[in-house]
Amino acid sequence: MIDLTVAQIAEIVGGELADITPEDAAKRHVTGTVEFDSRAVGPGGLFLALPGARSDGHDHAASAVAAGAVAVLAARAVGVPAIVVAPQPRTAGGGLAGVLEHDADGSGAAVLAALARLAKAVAAELVAGGLTIIGITGSSGKTSTKDLVAAVLDPLGEVVAPPGSFNNELGHPWTVLRASPSTDYLILEMSARHPGNIAALAEIAPPSIGVVLNVGTAHLGEFGSREVIAQTKSELPQAVPPSGVVVLNADDPAVAAMADVTAARVVRVSRDHTDDVWAGPVSLDDLARPRFTMHTCDAQAEVRLGVFGDHQVTNALCAGAVALHCGAGIEQVASALAAAGPVSRHRMQVTTRADGVTVIDDAYNANPDSMRAGLQALAWIAHRGTERPRRSWAVLGEMAELGDDAITEHDRIGRLAVRLDVSRLVVVGTGRSMSAMHQGAVLEGAWGSWGG
């Protein structure tokens, strides 16, 4: 966060002062972090009064100020110094209802819109001072790639990135406001559930580097078709200016086609053929950690990833392309990738217990693409990691927001578990989708044979 007075913030967000005089508002500076959890507020902070499942942030305004908050950004007066913005309809802002499901009167939407205006103003000032903003989108792999990009940029300067998958209308501006004048690189995940969501996020913090990983079936029920998903993901490369660069996964035809919709320079990455940045033959170690040669037009380096799963190769290539564009050498990139292990919880975290049991925790969220990647890693570790095949168990839950394709996609996952010769499949949950996963495995016939 940059140093701003309460009066300056009120002007930026279009709010009215409450329980603080204009004179005091011009003297009080917000120098700490912006928080929506009153327990996280510290001295010099700004508290966001947002509605939640169990309580309304407006009811915690006094405790936030007692903890050190300079003021509260709210939709009504709260008895302590506040910047008050008028409630607005829940439909305003496109995807706001998905973030604020407990926003009954539009007060949360108003505070969230004000937060976006504040983040936009702060981002503009920081970019003018030299900040580089990197935006990452895709149906799957955003968080893993974000973590890898943070790792490869860390040797080049100060990096700010969101924790976990904090990539929506709240997490995006919240992360922007974590940046300061000393920040060199701001990495932002850009998720979407409706067309226009990514464009709205890019307007808050315009990226000079955009990364598009893939177009899959995540949130298919919300979008209606893969074509609409592709159009929505393409909002990121469209937002990158001619002076910027867009990194595209050329192995995904829908992503490769986005080269036609951006004015920026395009860097293509591939694991299947020679491109701007590409991978040589890929091999996996006993725990499914990839090994490959990273190539550019004039250099190459051996890469030994510290993350798990064959699908991480594309994520690493995209991260490498970003770092190379920012001035890193290819050997420096390879070294940083080797040192980068899983960071965000419940995303391909592999641990081996003292009794020899290996646990793959990829439980944060699921879509058909990530589920397939996780099962393939499980099968590899079970069948190739030792001389004798190990027993393998897959404990799988429901993949949400698949719409009319939910039954088909769950059936396919059940069948895939059989084909990969997973020893036991535990289906967790009820309903038609989970029945389809179970029946898919049963109808596949006998358990298959591992084919690599």
Residue ranges per domain, the chain? 4-104, 130-339, 349-443
Mind listing the pLDDT tens digit for each residue in 18-56? 999 999 999 999 999 999 999 999 999 999 999 887 889
pLDDT for the residue 448: 45
- Residue 407 is encoded by which pair of tokens? 């039954």
| CATH C-level class of 349-443 | alpha beta
Q: Whose CA is closest to 396, among 427, 365, 423, 418?
A: 427
Q: How many CB atoms lie within 10 A of CB 297?
A: 9
- CATH topology of 4-104 equal to that of 349-443? no
Q: How far apart are CA 108 and CA 110, in angstroms?
A: 5
| CATH C-level class of 130-339 | alpha beta
User: Fold for domain 4-104?
Assistant: 3.40.1390
Question: Would you give the distance in Å from CA 160 to the centre of its chain?
Answer: 13
Find the mean pLDDT for residues 66-94: 87
| CA dist 270 → 239, 304, 316 (Å) | 23, 17, 11
Q: How far apart are CA 69 and CA 431, in angstroms?
A: 46
- Residue 447 is encoded by which pair of tokens? 């358990």
Which of 10-19, 97-106, 120-129, 237-246 has the lowest average pLDDT?
Answer: 97-106
Q: How far apart are CA 170 and CA 271, in angstroms?
A: 34
- Residue 426 is encoded by which pair of tokens? 């535990």
Angle between helices 226-233 and 197-204 (to 10 degrees): 10
pLDDT for the residue 223: 79
Q: Quick one: 404 exposed, middle or buried, by C-beta within 10 A (0-12, 13-18, 19+)?
A: exposed
> What is the amino acid identity at position 300?
Q
Residue 452 has pLDDT above 50, yes or no: no
Residue 96 has pLDDT above 60, yes or no: no
Q: Which of residues 256 and 221 earns the better pLDDT score? A: 256
Instruction: Pick the most confident of 194-208, 271-285, 391-405.
Output: 194-208
Evaluate whether 156 touches 335 at the Cβ level (below 8 Å). no
pLDDT for the residue 28: 97
Mind listing the pLDDT tens digit for each residue in 322-356? 999 999 999 999 999 999 988 887 888 888 899 98
Evaluate whether 379 touches 450 at the Cβ level (below 8 Å). yes
Evaluate whether 402 touches 221 at the Cβ level (below 8 Å). yes
Backbone angles phi, psi at 364, to 5 degrees: -60, -50
Angle between helices 330-339 and 312-325 (to 10 degrees): 140
